[in-house]
Structure 1
Amino acid sequence: MEADRDVRHALVVGAGIGGLAAALALGRTGWRVTVLERAAAIGEIGAGIQLSPNGVRVLSALGVLDRLLPTTFRPEAVEMRLGRSGRRVFRVELAETAVRRWGAPYLHVHRSDLLEALRAGTAGGGLDITLLTGSAVRGYAQDPRGVTAVLDSGRRIAGSLLVGADGIHSAIRERMLGAGEPRFTGHVAWRVTVPVERLGGDAPPPTACLWVGERRHAVTYRLRGGTLANLVAVVERDAWRGESWTERGTRRDALADFAGWHPTVTTALREAETHFRWALFDREPLETWVDGRVALLGDACHPMLPYLAQGATMALEDAWVLADRLAHTDDVPRALRSYAAARLPRTARVQAGSRENGQRFHREGRFAHVPLWFLGKLAPRVYHRRLDWLYGHRVP
């Protein structure tokens, strides 16, 4: 075991969005942080992310928003269209409303750009943060004085706190709670990005646009100042094995799943060079996220279906609250219990809302989307008010 008598040394397992945000938040409150990442390098993983104002406020408080802004895109509105005809169901203004109502903009960003902004933040400002790649953690051991991360290599690294931010296949969660079985939702998502210049008149509108149809839906939006189109297209399946962000499918299969749909959707699928296929699994909220000096964060404890676009944002909120609870005490277990008590009810509500939206988007029948049309077309203030609990929530 590597000796470490520093009472404020945090071990963060995972260098994804949640892990890097946690490292940065802890570092800014005086903690020495070691980030342990399984991958040999942090690459361009994933595609687009929608960041609602509650997450953008955290990035601002962490000091990385100014660095990130040049790579983002601010949608004019949120809208719904019929998947085959493209007919607009509703449009609700978002750009100025978000800042005025919730105190920060609504942004679209490429996952790799967000990761790079967070990584750059951990490397600057005189913070004591070390990133160790190629360091897969298989478990941990602890006693009243501290906690030790146990690596696959046999190396053991000691600290006073361990944060499991190691994603949906979390080794830390499995060590803490056992191997839980996820439930396949019946939904599989295609994810592609395409330069806008290759799409011509079929480029997606400058909005967060939901395209709905029977047993399938799609979401389009723009990234990187509007130069890159992002598409997530979800179709129902009876069965699936495996849960991965990086499984690849074929252009032919993607186009077959959305045959007859609007050219904005099909052109993006046709022009994309790589088609990632993501089977969506669901998990019930965990009873606890904490074991002594060990806490879970982000997808490791509350993996989100994408239908409220809150996965990354909930991880950012987690990171801020975790660091805040630890900022003024040396009683790590007590601070971690306070963190979990604050976060578990909110993330459980978001998980439930995401699940409900997934069912709502795939309703069948001619009049299936009339309630959403009424909400968006006739009562935009009601639409905004229904999001106040989510976008207006303040942790910084």
Structure 2
Amino acid sequence: MQPVTVIGAGIAGIAAALALRARGCEVRVLERATALREVGAGLQISPNGYRVLSALGLGAQIGRVSRPNHAVVLADGPTGAEVVRMPLDGPFRLIARPALIDVLADAAQAAGIEIAFAQAVEAPPEGLVLGADGLHSVVRSVLNGADRPFFTKQVAWRATIEGERPEEARVDMGPGRHLVRYPLPDGRVNLVGVEERADWAAEGWHTAGDPDAFRAAFAEFPDARADLDRVEACALWGLFRHPIAERWQDGRLAILGDAAHPTLPFLAQGANLALEDAWTVAAAVEAGDLPCWEAARKPRVRRAIEAANANARNYHLRGARRIVAHGVLRVIGRTAPHALPARFRWLYDHDVTA
């Protein structure tokens, strides 16, 4: 195979470099930052993403720095009452995002993959290039023309706290907002609160948040009060995205992860789809068939993003629709608790490494 340049040393970029190296490809990674300083707190690895990490030979390392998640509890935020508990089957893991990046970066170093920092790429270099360079992707703009990410009218508060940990992930749902809490392996609790807003005035994608403003945004969620009271520092993200790119490749250039299909965090699939992209694009490079890769990936990614968008709407219901929807979920929880997660078998059971 010809040498490959990967732009971006995030989850998609380093995983793609590892998958290419495993196939005998010479690969280098160019990263704009001066070092790997991953922003963010926790993330969830679902079975479809875990299978890629395992196929890369990283299952044991991930096991040491993550913890299993056996269920997701959906609760009514304003009352604190449980609506439904959804048991999870398979390797669902909870991990700090920097820990995942560290595992990938250590594996890249062990494989002899060069990650060159402080590389502000203004145009794709010569040869075969994979753009894993996120929302502001240089490669995406070459393939699709210049465009600007749009504000989704939602913002995300993120924080980690010390203290008593829940044993499983919990989502408190309320009108126009929801709060996710889950335990991290290092003893902390990850908090992600999403609220609807008309605009985003900050200069960047994320800013230092005000813990009091975070608490105020979810003041009507009584079950979360003790956790929110322990927030000492937080960040605030404006949630931006592009539409799914029309063109993912032209035979020489290809885009993956957020560069191709930014995903809102309502189904915890951003990192998992990036891992799938990384494995499959490496196989396509080996086979010399990037067009087939694009055609095969697009329908699955589109379905996953539509499911995430539907989750956002369902978490934020108001009025009578919310009362009816929660009533239906309670009935399903009592009579067929496995039915809800089974709706996503198409997502979680898929194995791109098979």
What TM-score, normalized by structure 1, do the two folds share?
A: 0.84
**Cα distance between partner residues in 2 of 1:228 and 1:71:** 13
Which consecutive segments of 4 or more residues in structure 1 shift more than 4 A? 241-245
Q: How many angstroms does 1:292 deviate by?
A: 3.0
Deviation readout 1:128-165 (Å, 9 max, x if unpaired): 4111011111112xxxxxxxx2xxxxxxxx4x310000
133, 136, 158: which one pairs with 2:120? 136
CA distance in 2, matches of 1:247, 1:291: 36
The answer to whether structure 1 residue 88 and structure 2 residue 45 are counterparts is no
Structure 2's unaligned 5+ residue stretches are none
Which runs of 5 or more residues in structure 1 are unaligned?
A: 1-6, 99-104, 141-148, 150-157, 197-202
**Partners of 2:86 and 2:338 within 8 A in 1:** no
Larger Rg: 1
- Is 2:105 aligned against 1:119? yes
**Which residue identity lines up with residue 312 of structure 2 in the other structure?**
G
2:78 equivalent to 1:72: no
Identity %: 41
Count of residue pairs brought into register by the alignment: 350
Partners of 2:3 and 2:27 lie apart in 1 by 6
Letter in 1 for 2:316: H
1:384 matched residue in structure 2: 341
User: 1:15 pairs with 6, 9, 13, which one?
Assistant: 9
Does the CA-based 8 Å contact 1:138-1:172 persist in structure 2?
no
Aligned partner of 2:95 in structure 1 is: 109
Question: CA offsets per residue over residues 164-203 of structure 1, 9 Å max, x none?
Answer: 001112122123212223332221110001123xxxxxx4
- In structure 1, the residue matched to 2:211 is 251
Q: Shift of residue 204 of structure 1?
A: 4.6
Where does 1:165-314 land on structure 2 (aligned, <5 Å)? 165-196=132-163, 203-224=164-185, 227-241=187-201, 246-263=206-223, 265-314=224-273
1:27 — aligned with what? Answer: 21
User: Residues 67 and 307 from structure 1, CA distance in 2 versus in 1: closer, same or farther, beyond 3 angstroms?
Assistant: same
| Cross-structure match for 1:39 | 33
SS at match of 1:192: strand
Matched position secondary structure for 1:393: coil
Asked whether the equivalents of residues 192 and 268 of structure 1 are also in contact (C-alpha less than 8 Å), the reply is: no
Query: Aligned partners of 1:304, 1:267: CA distance in 2, in Å?
Result: 30
Q: Once superposed, what is the RMSD of the aligned Cα atoms?
A: 1.7
Does the 8 Å contact 2:65/2:99 carry over to 1?
Answer: yes
- Once residues 244 and 27 of structure 1 are traced to their aligned partners in structure 2, the CA distance between those partners, rounded to angstroms, is 35
Q: Contact between 2:87 and 2:341, CA under 8 Å: does it hold in 1?
A: no
Change (3 A) 1:72 1:244: farther
- Residue 242 (structure 1) shift: 5.7
CA contact (8 A) 2:149 2:241 kept: yes
Q: 1:181 to 1:113 in 2, by over 3 A?
A: same
Equivalent residue for 2:280? 321
Task: Tell me the TM-score normalized by structure 2.
Answer: 0.94
